[in-house]
Structure 1
Amino acid sequence: MARAAPSPNQAPRRGGGGFALLSPAFLDELRARTSLSGLIGRTVKLQKAGNEHKACCPFHQEKTPSFWVNDQKAFYHCFGCGAHGDAIRFLTEARGLAFMDAVKELADAAGLELPAPTPAARAQAEREASLGEVVEQAAAWFRQQLGGIDGAGARAYLDKRGIGAEARAAFGIGFAPDSRGKLKAALAEAGEDRLVEAGLVIEVEGKERYDRFRGRLMIPIRDAKGRAIAFGGRILGDGEPKYLNSPETPLFDKGRTLFNLDRAGPASRRSGRLLVVEGYLDVIALDQAGIREAVAPLGTALTEHQLERLWRLVDEPILCFDGDKAGRRAAVRAAQRALPLLRPGKALAFALLPEGQDPDDLVRSGGPEAMEALLDAPVPLATLLYEAERDQVDLTRPELRAGLRAKLDELAGTCADRLVAEEFRRTFRELFFEEFGWKKTELRAIAGAIHRTGGNPAEELPRRTVRALLLGLSRHPRTLTRRAEDIACIRIDDPDLRRWRQVLVDATFRHPNLDVDAVEAILGTAVMPELLRFADVSDLRYRFTARTCDADEAVSQLDALISLLCGEREMSDQLAELDRAAIADDGSEWDAIEAARGPLRAGLRDLHEQMAEQASGEAI
């Protein structure tokens, strides 16, 4: 049997059961005994297609099936979003399980025994299980206190916040009495050392140990399987800190944990979205309003590990921030921190709440409809960053606008993935020029500025467009330095036109301030003379090729055309990749490949036809 793509994290993680490292042979045997279509078919409606199964992808929203499951090869693949993996990866990605939890579930179903744990691993597992029991006992005790005499104030607070009995039970809300030793006494059988290790009791050298949580509403923090591992305590009256979390323990890693992930994960798979809010009570308020796919970090900014957990569930989590200035600053900081972590297909969006309101306020005043209205139109990450930088600049001053563009390029450069960085750089430019240069509507006007001539427009268009671009760049060389990277990416098949581009790029890189006369002098000695006589060719209808064209108008139109040609190359590259896959295919994936090629062919056809049909008819 062919071995599937390797699963992530092929080593047990903390809390995974304490088993030894698993050999490739064991994992191959586990895959061989697992029916992948049977496993995926429990949660995804599969359709038989030859020797494979197909479905709408569970990892992104789509209407036409592009998700394929191959039992023989033991892997799944989505031609839409690129999701790919085996049975273990499916459980870790689709259900958010830890690697060892996924392996144990599959092994139990297949009747396989896991390798025996090492003594050290066994001791670690026993220690964590013991601590887990202590935390669960504490959670039960806190719930009892909420219903007792001491919990009257906490119950009144919950009533005031509109948190009803159903939510209290679902989230396991409790109360810690304002006492230094009641919990310690109630859980005495566990031993004070374990209470300290579990983060429930504080140890100060030379003094008596005492309860960590006192006079606080207690909200259990659970792992992905719903097991209590820590607590968040909210003070009821005045005092600091308002929220107090458990310290890090062998069970609880604050930077890897998200509050309510155990309940929000399944809800997000049903809704196709995942929200991130700032606090526990925001999560609970949204849950009561029927929006159950919300999580919260634990008093800190989102970490890389938390983002990865979010991206396992959805491609574009929505971060919801309070509507005050602090909330907006936090949104911008989150966007800036996320940039280096982005990769193709993974993104963030932002729902910015009205001034002075958090999600709890919003759903209490306007109901779930008010929140849904915000979630239906989230702000993309690029737009959020652009507007934040723009709003700090005096836009009436050209030198400060130039500084804004430099800052935006710097931000795009923080993306670790090259393709993502290029796309952010392009998007920032487009947003900038929408306000200060060419408009989006000019893309169509510029694209249509080619006169229809004899022959096939789709075949003639690329060469005619490229030579018009080169002539425009020769007459307006300042665009070259600014868009050199994009210009270098444009596909040019004609060797003479490639040489023309290379001469232009080399000249402006050596001498960035060359004027048009100097450029034309260089071209006159380095490029074949007949290439430069394009002003006499009747099928060049772009205004920027005319010597009489206003310089600013020409530059904005050149920017538009460069962006359009870059987009054409991307579509062509995707289609070529699918064509290669079709040639190599044994017939099993032909339908899926053809389904993916259709929209690309139509898109290229539409692009070329629009450009040809909207000729300006304005001769040079």
Structure 2
Amino acid sequence: MDSFRNQIDLIKQRIKLSDELSKHINLISKGNDLWCLCFFHNEKTPSMKINDDTSSYYCFGCGAKGDTFSFYTDYLNYSFKDAVIELGKKAGVNIDIRSQNKDNFKIYRKYEILESASSWYHNNLLLDENNISFKYLKDRKISKDTIIEFKLGYTENKNINLYQYLLEKAYTEKDLIESNLFKKNEDGKIRNFFYKRLIFPIYDYDSKIVGFGARSLDGREPKYLNSPESEIFKKGRILFNFHKAKSIARKKQNILVSEGYMDVISLFDKGIKSVVAPLGTSITYEQLMLVWKVCKLPTLIFDGDKAGKKASIKAALLALKHLKPSYSLKFLELPDDHDPDSFINSTNKSEASTFFKRTKDLSNFIFDYAKMSFVYETPDQKIVFDKYFDDITNLIDDKKVKFFYKKDFRNKLFYFFNKNISKVGKNNFKFENQISSLEKKEYLSFLAGFINHPSIRPDLIEDLIKFDFKDFDISKCFSEISKEKNMDMDPKTLIGTIEDKNILKTISKSLNIEIYQLFPYSSPNCESKDVLNYIKESIKIIETRLSNSLKIDKSLKEFKSDSSALKWNEFKNLSYDYIDKIDV
């Protein structure tokens, strides 16, 4: 048997909304659209549009909206249960109300109550008596069109309270308590959950109101308050304005994730429609999956203060764990004294446009934040700083993504820790730890082998990432040619993608006849499997040299202070081992 919800959807498919409306209201055709006078407020010009494809109506004058079922309940005064029975008969859908799970009716009842409450809140906001709420929005530079678009509301009405208003619509006290709009005190009195607050309706993925956000306007705490969670309202699974933003995000492949309701509304008001926000909490895994569903590279724009930065890095590390190829995050960093709302209202269109182009990718954002958070003056502090990146990249689930992020952070650390480069001339640099001319040519041969033999790159890349080239230009060159997008390119195509003149100069030095004569394995004519073995073996020998030379240095110092036959024998053996390796 079909679920109750599926049966409801089937009724909507089979019954044309315009046919039902035309039995009671005069419809007017405008091009391909149908319009009518709104049946919820007095007007002379039709402002209600009927959409048969979605079985819905919307009034551009007062914001009233609904579907076939709400037309029966709100206009024809049917109960929801009776509307289901009547429309089920017309659609030929056999619904045995007695056999339906009571929870289905309870949930639909909640949707219905929340929609009615939202209309009541919204109409209150437009009343002259509630100038405080309208003035607040005006001071925040929110237009009336945007107020109507988001169906913003206010909780107070001198003539009738929300509880009485809903009772008059034939809802029971039990229905209203279960809607979470009211709470019963210990003395048995029923009170509004929201009092003297600006109201933000919260919609689910299917554009149904499932709860409300509310802001106090008289200084009472908490400043922001959300509806209690229920079977239809889970804060961590919903993003404010996602129901509007999703189609634009899919089309433009761009969506902004801001921090709060007013950020979304201000940005929307200024023309940025594809914008959402979590509901007063840190962004969750479910919310991240929701934005990735419509856009592969969403952009986070949180407040510029300390709390905003903390929320941003928390979101960054959450995303890091769940990264997949092509999916990531970008970041926009606001000045310390700004949030998205204040920023968009204090800049002109040109300045804002320039700012929104200055996004920072995920790895750069994480690295820059870490630089501000760690101390790295002593070797021990540097080890802790280095280990942090190993720890966070180990969290990444996808092996391929993990590999390239490890490589990227390793390169960033290399450049960062080698800022103690001394200038030679105007534009040339050299490291404090100099390498010999022959060593440098051997390192260039590694680049040549990597470029000339695409098939071995996946097997060679990890060895070279860990390898200390001791030369800024060679290391920078390897970082560029080993990017993921270059891994499968033939040598000519790969070189053609490089624009940096210094990197091209280093590549030219490596693909040189002198390098091929000194290290034949690096030439394009050598068998790829032999190239792989030669380079791996050469790296081992170099690393053994370095390790043994350090041990020899340590042994010499110990020998000077504590000479003995045993110490001397150890030193000799170590020295011969070192020489043997060089002769391989």
TM-score relative to the length of structure 1: 0.58
Of 493, 498, 508, the match for 1:613: 508
Q: Give the C-alpha shift of residue 15 in structure 1.
A: 6.9
Distance 1:120 1:255 in 2: 33
Q: What SS does the aligned partner of 2:212 have? A: strand
Of 293, 304, 307, the match for 2:285: 304
Distance 1:320 1:452 in 2: 43
Max Rg structure: 2
- Asked if 1:173 corresponds to 2:152, the answer is yes
Do the aligned partners of 1:268 and 1:313 also contact (CA within 8 Å) in 2? yes
Determine the structure 1 residue equivalent to 2:105: 126
Of 116, 135, 150, the match for 1:156: 135
Do the aligned partners of 1:192 and 1:201 also contact (CA within 8 Å) in 2? no
Distance 1:323 1:392 in 2: 16
Determine the structure 1 residue equivalent to 2:494: 603
Determine the structure 1 residue equivalent to 2:122: 143
Distance 1:452 1:393 in 2: 34
User: What amino acid maps onto 1:144 in structure 2?
Assistant: N
Please list, as runs of the form range in 1=range in 2, the aligned pairs for 1:156-305 lying within 5 A after superposition: 156-177=135-156, 182-188=161-167, 189-305=170-286
CA distance 1:174–1:302, shift in 2 (3 Å): same
Of 330, 335, 341, the match for 1:360: 341
Q: Give the C-alpha shift of residue 613 in structure 1.
A: 3.3
Q: Deviations over 1:410-443 (max 9, x none)?
A: 111111222222222111112112222399x99x
User: What amino acid maps onto 1:490 in structure 2?
Assistant: L
Do the aligned partners of 2:477 and 2:507 also contact (CA within 8 Å) in 1? no
Q: What SS does the aligned partner of 1:220 have? A: strand
CA distance 1:367–1:203, shift in 2 (3 Å): farther
Do the aligned partners of 1:261 and 1:295 also contact (CA within 8 Å) in 2? yes
CA distance 1:179–1:242, shift in 2 (3 Å): farther
Q: What is the percentage of aligned positions where both structures have the same residue?
A: 26
- Unaligned 5+ runs, structure 2: 11-90, 422-427, 430-437, 519-584
- Asked if 1:410 corresponds to 2:391, the answer is yes
- Asked if 1:490 corresponds to 2:460, the answer is yes
Q: Give the C-alpha shift of residue 114 in structure 1.
A: 10
- Unaligned 5+ runs, structure 1: 1-11, 21-111, 467-486, 493-500, 509-543, 545-551, 576-598
Determine the structure 1 residue equivalent to 2:452: 461
Distance 1:117 1:171 in 2: 37
Q: Give the C-alpha shift of residue 192 in structure 1.
A: 2.1
Q: Deviations over 1:341-395 (max 9, x none)?
A: 2222211111111121111111211134333322212111211211122222333
Distance 1:118 1:571 in 2: 62
Q: Deviations over 1:591-617 (max 9, x none)?
A: xxxxxxxx9983377689987634476
Please list, as runs of the form range in 1=range in 2, the aligned pairs for 1:18-29 lying within 5 A after superposition: none
Distance 1:222 1:459 in 2: 53
Q: What SS does the aligned partner of 1:186 have? A: helix
User: What amino acid maps onto 1:602 in structure 2?
Assistant: T
Determine the structure 2 residue equivalent to 1:578: none
Q: Give the C-alpha shift of residue 570 in structure 1.
A: 6.9
Q: Deviations over 1:299-354 (max 9, x none)?
A: 11111111111001100111101111221121111112222222222111111111
Distance 2:114 2:135 in 1: 26
CA distance 1:229–1:490, shift in 2 (3 Å): same
Q: Deviations over 1:55-96 (max 9, x none)?
A: xxxxxxxxxxxxxxxxxxxxxxxxxxxxxxxxxxxxxxxxxx
Please list, as runs of the form range in 1=range in 2, the aligned pairs for 1:363-374 lying within 5 A after superposition: 363-374=344-355
Query: Higher mean Cα deviation, 258-267 or 388-397?
Result: 388-397
User: What amino acid maps onto 1:259 in structure 2?
Assistant: F
Q: Give the C-alpha shift of residue 121 in structure 1.
A: 6.7
Q: What SS does the aligned partner of 2:228 have? A: coil
CA distance 1:115–1:563, shift in 2 (3 Å): farther
Q: What SS does the aligned partner of 2:201 have? A: strand
Determine the structure 2 residue equivalent to 1:328: 309
Please list, as runs of the form range in 1=range in 2, the aligned pairs for 1:99-110 lying within 5 A after superposition: none
Do the aligned partners of 1:18 and 1:122 also contact (CA within 8 Å) in 2? no
CA distance 1:490–1:225, shift in 2 (3 Å): same
User: What amino acid maps onto 1:287 in structure 2?
Assistant: F
Q: Give the C-alpha shift of residue 211 in structure 1.
A: 0.7
Of 459, 465, 470, the match for 1:554: 470
Distance 1:166 1:215 in 2: 23
Q: What SS does the aligned partner of 1:331 have? A: helix
CA distance 1:459–1:184, shift in 2 (3 Å): closer
Q: What SS does the aligned partner of 1:231 have? A: strand
Which structure would you say has the larger RCO, counting Cα contacts within 8 Å and 6 or more residues apart? 1
TM-score relative to the length of structure 2: 0.61
Q: Give the C-alpha shift of residue 169 in structure 1.
A: 0.6
Q: Give the C-alpha shift of residue 489 in structure 1.
A: 3.4
Q: What SS does the aligned partner of 1:168 have? A: helix
Of 327, 338, 352, the match for 2:319: 338
Do the aligned partners of 1:353 and 1:374 also contact (CA within 8 Å) in 2? no
CA distance 1:236–1:375, shift in 2 (3 Å): same
Q: Deviations over 1:141-191 (max 9, x none)?
A: 111211224412111111211112101110101100189992111111212
Q: What SS does the aligned partner of 1:187 have? A: helix
Q: What SS does the aligned partner of 1:391 have? A: helix
Do the aligned partners of 2:4 and 2:100 also contact (CA within 8 Å) in 1? no
Do the aligned partners of 1:450 and 1:611 also contact (CA within 8 Å) in 2? no
CA distance 1:315–1:255, shift in 2 (3 Å): same
Distance 1:491 1:429 in 2: 13
Distance 1:559 1:145 in 2: 66
State the superposition RMSD in angstroms: 4.4
CA distance 1:228–1:333, shift in 2 (3 Å): same
- Asked if 1:401 corresponds to 2:382, the answer is yes
CA distance 1:204–1:343, shift in 2 (3 Å): farther
Distance 1:459 1:240 in 2: 63
Distance 2:470 2:303 in 1: 43
Distance 1:14 1:343 in 2: 37
Distance 2:273 2:289 in 1: 20
Distance 1:412 1:452 in 2: 29
Q: Give the C-alpha shift of residue 244 in structure 1.
A: 1.0
Determine the structure 2 residue equivalent to 1:536: none
